[in-house]
């Protein structure tokens, strides 16, 4: 897979996992997301095309921002917390040891994530965007290290939770696409 296309897919997915659907950052990425099935040679193109159809149906859902808020910002119990430390650390809390290791990894490699939001760095969408940044800087081995040592260690649990949420079909489909994308990355 071409590294720039791979980075583009990571940025698009990362943005939708991090920013509200009506944000100025996400709005220009709607069309690429709805046609993400054509951006790369997916292992299961029919599954991805089916998810894109669901995304097209759901993108105009007026409750999408509310669904995002429930799933990513937390209003009560979160069915699928998007932070690695929740899945990796014994106490299942934010800002745990795994998040600290990831922060050190980012600092060691000169990666600064400045989104203007106060958020632990091990948020799923942020990690995809950091991966894309490394690919764009041609730091392929460090990008693979990020995926293998910091994202794949917990992402399957997270994405399964998100796929099984009863709040949003949009984010269920997004989780399926992200699972397929990470499956492709794990074979690189």
CB 50, CB 37: distance < 8 Å: no
Cα pseudo-dihedral 75, 103, 14, 78, rounded to 10: -20
Residue span of the structural domain in which 71 resides: 3-186
Distance between CA atoms of 66 and 73, rounded to whole angstroms? 10
Instruction: Flag the least confident range among 54-58, 110-114, 150-154.
Output: 110-114
Q: Identify the burial level of 169 via C-beta atoms within 10 angstroms of its C-beta, where 0-12 means exposed, 13-18 middle and 19 or more buried.
A: middle
CATH number of the structural domain spanning residue 67: 1.10.3480.10
pLDDT digits (tens, 9 = 90+) for 86-110: 898 877 767 778 888 999 999 999 8
Q: Which two tokens stand for residue 54?
A: 């669901």
pLDDT digits (tens, 9 = 90+) for 114-136: 766 667 889 999 999 999 999 99
- The set of residues, in sequence order, having a beta carbon less than 8 Å from that of 44 and lying 6+ positions away, is 180
| Averaged pLDDT of the chain | 91
Query: Confidence band (pLDDT; 50, 70, 90) for 188?
Result: low
Q: Residue 116 has what pLDDT?
A: 66
Q: Residue 164 has what pLDDT?
A: 95
Per-residue pLDDT at 4 exceeds 90:
no
CB 152, CB 182: distance < 8 Å: yes
pTM given for the model: 0.93
Task: Decide: helix, strand or coil at residue 81.
Answer: coil
Q: Look at 78 and 30; give whichever has higher pLDDT.
A: 30
Distance between CA atoms of 152 and 17, rounded to whole angstroms? 16
What is the DSSP secondary structure assignment for residue 113, as one 8-state letter?
-
Query: What is the number of structural domains in the chain?
Result: 1
Residue 114 Cα distances to 6, 85, 92, 120, 165, angstroms: 22, 20, 25, 11, 29
């Amino acid at each position: 897979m071409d590294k720039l296309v791979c980075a583009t897919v990571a940025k698009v997915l990362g943005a939708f996992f991090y920013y509200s659907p009506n944000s100025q950052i996400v709005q220009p990425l709607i069309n690429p997301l709805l046609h993400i099935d054509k951006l790369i040679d997916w292992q299961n193109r029919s599954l991805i095309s089916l998810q894109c159809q669901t995304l097209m149906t759901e993108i105009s859902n007026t409750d999408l921002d509310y669904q995002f808020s429930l799933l990513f910002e937390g209003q009560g119990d979160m069915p699928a917390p998007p932070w690695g430390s929740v899945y990796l650390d014994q106490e299942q809390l934010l800002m745990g040891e795994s998040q600290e290791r990831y922060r050190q990894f980012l600092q060691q490699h000169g990666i600064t994530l400045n989104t203007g939001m106060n958020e632990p760095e091990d948020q799923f969408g942020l990690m995809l965007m950091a991966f894309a940044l490394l690919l764009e800087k041609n730091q392929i081995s460090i990008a693979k290290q990020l995926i293998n040592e910091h994202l794949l260690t917990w992402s399957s649990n997270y994405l399964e939770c998100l796929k099984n949420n009863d709040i949003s079909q949009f984010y269920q489909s997004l989780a399926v696409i992200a699972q397929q994308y990470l499956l492709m990355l794990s074979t690189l």
